[in-house]
Structure 1
């Protein structure tokens, strides 16, 4: 039976991808870091690997390199929350067959996986989902965009609700996490945290939050820029998004 291994250290991203495989009728196993992915790929034969570029312990490229050195030639696709032309070229040169940018839609996944699996959507994407109105709750604008999020989960509101509950847990920890990162001035750790938060926000249709993450990441990478006001802006956006998510659950 055909099977895929999915590795992603972001719990929300991993759950979305596993749910997507269920909808596509593909058996899937999940790993929450590169080391776990390497262990699983050694133990079991897979028809495809879907590896996140940046993970703890071992990155996606590191996992692929290790597997190739021991003779495992399973085809692999890379995922990343921000794909630049240079990163895409590097990942393809490493041996990945494709590079997909997160957040992914179900349709994008289906197209990417079609060469490897015979798929039938268990829950077809409804054409009406693109017309679902957005949720505009606060002065920050449409913090939760259902029209953007639902096509990615095949129009399944139950899956979207489950993903947003994970985002609630993630956002609740943001104030303490960012206070520690701000105090330590560890830009590498802050950049990595923003990378994961951007992916989570994208899967949930939290487009304002995702844009704030992208903006702050770019400022960190630009020498001489002050990030203090933008970190505060991100905190406020995260707080407003958390309120919006909790309001939806009432």
Structure 2
């Protein structure tokens, strides 16, 4: 069955390689970013022209946009405005050689999920790529060794993981309302972090700890940390479904 136009715009094609559009007018930066992303197993497409980048982002299915802040004819912000006006909600990351605090705040307000400072390392790209593909994060989605060590044996681990999956499904359903209540969210994340330890959900534990740290410190969670948490939440739910035997 063909995908709808909206699905194509949001990059929802099933069973396809994760596609990233990289827009950068500097040939060296563009070459490094695209090749490094390809080394991570992503399908990276490069653009040196802002108008062409916006057109491709609207017309083709991408899961992530990496947009340079300073390009002839309009940088990251102008490209993203065109993309959003066309109804495309693809995750977007702004790249630049420098970000002062006013610029950071403006880019987040504009709708960017994260910022990437250039020059960058492979670890920085892995962090950015994990926003759309949690398996690229440094942590495994599930760590059986940790889970068995915490729970005592495999049978107990499986029982705990079954309970946790139900808990995560409920959290996913209630997320929109919970995200509007920082105090409630902090409490929920505190309990979730303990469950992650018993069940060996390593990736979700890392994302939960980051989000909790921002909330406890009185910060407004960045769009990147929220997107990373939700992505890890869904990846963990799927992994637990495969991990827990069908009764």
Length-normalised TM-score, structure 1: 0.47
Length-normalised TM-score, structure 2: 0.47
Larger Rg belongs to = 2
